[in-house]
Structure 1
Amino acid sequence: VKSDTVLNGNNILRNQDPLFKEILRENQDYRLKENSAAIGKGAPEYVTGVSATDLEGNPRSAPFDLGAYEFVP
């Protein structure tokens, strides 16, 4: 995902880097860095079927983060 727009229901993070940990190397890491604008921007009222956990099994909390991984400090 090399875009400057992250969509979320009615929320759009426009012209903001979502700050993934590493997208340019072989071992890409799409987890969010701690200062990512995508943290806490999920809007459950616009999404159905959101998993209670992310791809690593971390619990999602409201408001959840945009993307496949919930930020874990």
Structure 2
Amino acid sequence: MTFSDVVEVIKSLSTDEKREIQLLLQQYLREERRDDIYANFKSSQIEQQKGELKFSANTNELKQLIEE
């Protein structure tokens, strides 16, 4: 089934069914974002354990770190 097939099927659904799909999609997107945030957190933890993270309160130094 192609994306356009899915779109056509959704168009044929009732309003209540479309709302349910909307709610499901919002939930799926939230879950995916949560997974991304967690993966980034775990990656940052590993970098910190390896001593690869750099911290600074100096804004000029922070700008340089971002550019690296």
- Which one has a bigger Cα radius of gyration? 2
**TM-score when normalising by structure 1:** 0.18
Higher RCO structure, 1 or 2 (CA under 8 Å, sep 6+):
1
The structure richer in strand per residue is: 1
**TM-score when normalising by structure 2:** 0.19
The structure richer in helix per residue is: 2
